[in-house]
């Protein structure tokens, strides 16, 4: 929300995040080898679980590459060149937007942001907190934010499919143990336990 005493520059137009979300779903389905979500029924869970994990790994790599760039640009525009509507520009909720800035300057997304009443005070606190000044921050935000959004969207979708595959492998006719599934995918068994539990709760089995 705008604060009294803070002067804001012009809003930055937001990318079409709805379109990005739709494209992300289609990309995941293609990588999983299915055309529609309902085709999941005919997909072998042994194959699906591996492909879903591959999508997750790829998305995590992209998040590792672009998340800090997005959040550094957000922090610059918060402290040094205040703009209205930055949450929308970044494709975040208000809480997510504040958490992104807190993560990059405090190392804790739950840390409260400073309460200030002037642009000068904002800039001073930003400098004290070590918020990086970013040249062409607007351009950097508009480049990094859609990449982060799309990667997170693909990851969230792939996680659900992986959870479904893990649950299917845990039940007849497979009845694989978490250790067997973990060995098949190449992950730690704690992840498999977590995903099996999430899928079970979603289906009212746990």
Question: Are 94 and 172 contacting, i.e. CB atoms less than 8 angstroms apart?
Answer: no
Question: Are 187 and 55 contacting, i.e. CB atoms less than 8 angstroms apart?
Answer: no
Using CA atoms, how far apart are residues 59 and 68, in angstroms rounded to an integer?
Answer: 15
Query: To 10 degrees, the CA torsion angle through 167, 172, 176, 182?
Result: -20
pTM for this predicted structure = 0.94
Other Cβ atoms less than 10 A from the Cβ of 4: the count is 6
Question: Are 103 and 109 contacting, i.e. CB atoms less than 8 angstroms apart?
Answer: yes
Phi, psi dihedral angles at 23 (to 5 degrees): -65, -35
In order along its 206 residues, the chain shows pLDDT tens digits of 567 789 999 999 999 999 999 999 999 999 999 888 888 777 899 999 999 999 999 999 999 999 999 999 999 999 999 999 999 999 999 999 999 999 999 999 999 998 888 999 999 999 999 999 999 999 999 999 999 999 999 999 999 999 999 999 999 999 999 999 999 999 999 999 999 999 999 998 86
């Amino acid at each position: 929300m705008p604060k009294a005493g803070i002067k804001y520059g012009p809003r930055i137009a937001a990318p079409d995040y709805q379109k990005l979300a739709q494209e992300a779903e289609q990309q995941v389905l293609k990588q999983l080898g299915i055309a529609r979500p309902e085709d999941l029924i005919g997909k072998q869970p042994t194959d699906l679980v591996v492909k879903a994990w591959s999508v997750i790994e790829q998305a995590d790599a992209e998040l590792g590459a672009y998340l800090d760039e997005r959040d550094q640009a957000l922090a610059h525009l918060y402290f040094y060149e205040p703009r209205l509507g930055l949450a929308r520009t970044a494709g975040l909720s208000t809480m997510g937007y504040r958490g992104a800035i807190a993560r990059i300057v405090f190392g804790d997304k739950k840390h409260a942001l400073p309460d200030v009443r002037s642009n000068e005070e904002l800039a001073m606190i930003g400098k004290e907190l070590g918020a990086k000044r970013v040249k062409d921050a607007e351009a950097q935000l508009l480049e990094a934010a859609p990449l982060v959004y799309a990667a997170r969207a693909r990851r969230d979708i792939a996680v659900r499919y992986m959870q479904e595959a893990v649950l299917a492998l845990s039940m007849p006719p497979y009845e694989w143990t978490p250790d067997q599934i973990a060995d098949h995918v190449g992950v730690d068994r704690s992840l498999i336990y977590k995903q099996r539990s999430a899928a079970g709760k979603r289906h009212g089995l746990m």
